[in-house]
Amino acid sequence: MSIENMDDLQAVEKLRDAHEKISGEIGKVVVGQKEIVDQLLIALLCGGHVLLVGVPGLAKTLLISTLARALDLSFSRIQFTPDLMPSDITGTEVLEEDHTTGHKVFRFVKGPIFANIILADEINRTPPKTQAALLQAMQEHEVTAGGETFRLGEPFFVLSTQNPIEQEGTYPLPEAQLDRFIFNLWIDYPSESEEKEIVKNTTSAYSAEVSPVLNAAQIVELQQLIRKVPVADHVIDYAVGLARKTRPAGDGIPSFVTELVSWGAGPRASQFLILGAKARAVLEGRYAASIEDVNFVAVPVLRHRIVTSFSAEAEGTTAVDIIHRLMES
């Protein structure tokens, strides 16, 4: 199946226009971060979830809530704390009395997970049992309570944040759970000119109005469109080769990978490299994915899937350094 009928071609053109409008609407509230916005949209179109890492005060919550408004999606923020319980996320059963019959019955009250965009703030502050409740919903798009299964609304997009500085009293996500996130995005400090603009905007009485550009039904249709984007064999070869070269054991692996990497990316990375490349191509109004598109998503896809060795840590070499060396070679 590929993009060939007129409806699909028109949908690609509409998405390119919508992409520019969404960036403009978010730009009314959030200064800079264009690449992060693009990568969030790519992840959403791929039907994946994102781990967002950045120090406090970089407008992570504002960015995500503004994205939800620009896409006309329901938004829910869950602050993860050490005492948070799974039922605080998924919902709980309450005992109610039926006034007509006098019988007492259990009724399920939906938790904050029942929204289109979920901000899981500081996910590593809560114990593994509560983390697992969120991760199950991410994987299955459903919640089970009292023997009954409830489907979550589509699209369902989870953005989990982590603070890279304060690691005391945290429960780091295991590698197997990290692998469920399509992207690991790092938000950096703004430039000096951007910071001046932020200060001007946030200390005045002006409040920007964000207009919705797309709705939930349109986003679900676009997620299906992404799957139809054709990819040439040489692009698939490149993506699979890039993922395979992060694994220290195997033939033709660069010597620096063998020395600096303990564990490499699994097959899910190859899938996400291609899906991300397809979404980026369509966002830019193109009908086929290229190697350049794969390179655009390579760092956020592979960063959290590479476990560096003691040698790498001793040298100060990061997973991102290794990815860039692989792309250059």
* Domain assignment present for 106: no
pLDDT the model gives residue 57: 75
* Domain assignment present for 132: yes
Number of domains in the chain: 2
Domain boundary among 228, 255, 276: 228
pLDDT the model gives residue 1: 45
Task: Say whether both 218 and 248 belong to one domain.
Answer: no
Task: Say whether both 77 and 57 belong to one domain.
Answer: yes
pTM as predicted: 0.85
* Domain assignment present for 95: no
pLDDT the model gives residue 302: 93
**DSSP β-ladder status, 91-97 and 142-145:** unpaired
CATH classification at residue 28: 3.40.50.300
pLDDT the model gives residue 150: 85
| 3-state helix/strand/coil string of the chain | CCCCCHHHHHHHHHHHHHHHHHHHHHHCCCCCCHHHHHHHHHHHHHCCCEEEECCCCCCHHHHHHHHHHHCCCCEEEEECCCCCCHHHHHEEEEEEECCCCCCEEEEEEECCCCCCEEEEECHHHCCHHHHHHHHHHHHHCEEEECCEEEECCCCCEEEEEECCCCCCCCCCCCHHHHCCCCEEEECCCCCHHHHHHHHHHHCCCCCCCCCCCCCHHHHHHHHHHHHCCCECHHHHHHHHHHHHCCCCCCCCCCHHHHHHEEECCCHHHHHHHHHHHHHHHHHCCCCCECHHHHHHHHHHHHHHHCEECHHHHHHCCCHHHHHHHHHHC
Q: Which of 148, 142, 143, 149 is nearest to 105 (CA)?
A: 148
* Residues 50-76 pLDDT 10s: 998 887 777 778 888 888 888 888 889
* Domain assignment present for 102: no
Distances (CA, A) of 255 to 121, 142, 249: 39, 44, 10
* Residues 191-243 pLDDT 10s: 888 788 878 877 777 777 778 888 888 888 888 888 888 889 999 999 999 99
Q: Which domain holds residue 234?
A: 230-329
* Domain assignment present for 89: no
Task: Say whether both 238 and 210 belong to one domain.
Answer: no
Full pLDDT tens readout for the chain, 329 residues = 455 566 777 878 888 888 888 888 887 777 777 888 888 889 988 888 999 888 777 777 888 888 888 888 888 999 988 898 888 888 888 888 777 777 887 777 888 899 898 898 888 888 888 888 887 788 888 888 777 788 888 889 899 888 776 666 678 887 777 888 899 998 888 788 878 887 887 777 777 777 888 888 888 888 888 888 888 999 999 999 999 999 888 778 888 888 888 888 888 999 999 999 999 998 888 888 899 999 999 999 999 998 888 988 888 888 899 999 999 88
pLDDT the model gives residue 300: 93
Domain boundary among 199, 228, 257: 228
Domain boundary among 160, 195, 228: 228
Contacts of residues 318-326 at CB distance under 8 Å and 24 or more positions apart, as own/partner, are 322/246, 322/256, 322/257, 322/260, 322/261, 323/246, 323/298, 323/299, 324/299, 325/254, 325/256, 326/242, 326/245, 326/246, 326/254, 326/257
Are 238 and 326 a contacting pair, CB within 8 Å?
no
* Domain assignment present for 73: yes
Task: Say whether both 172 and 243 belong to one domain.
Answer: no
Computed over every residue of the chain, the mean pLDDT equals 84
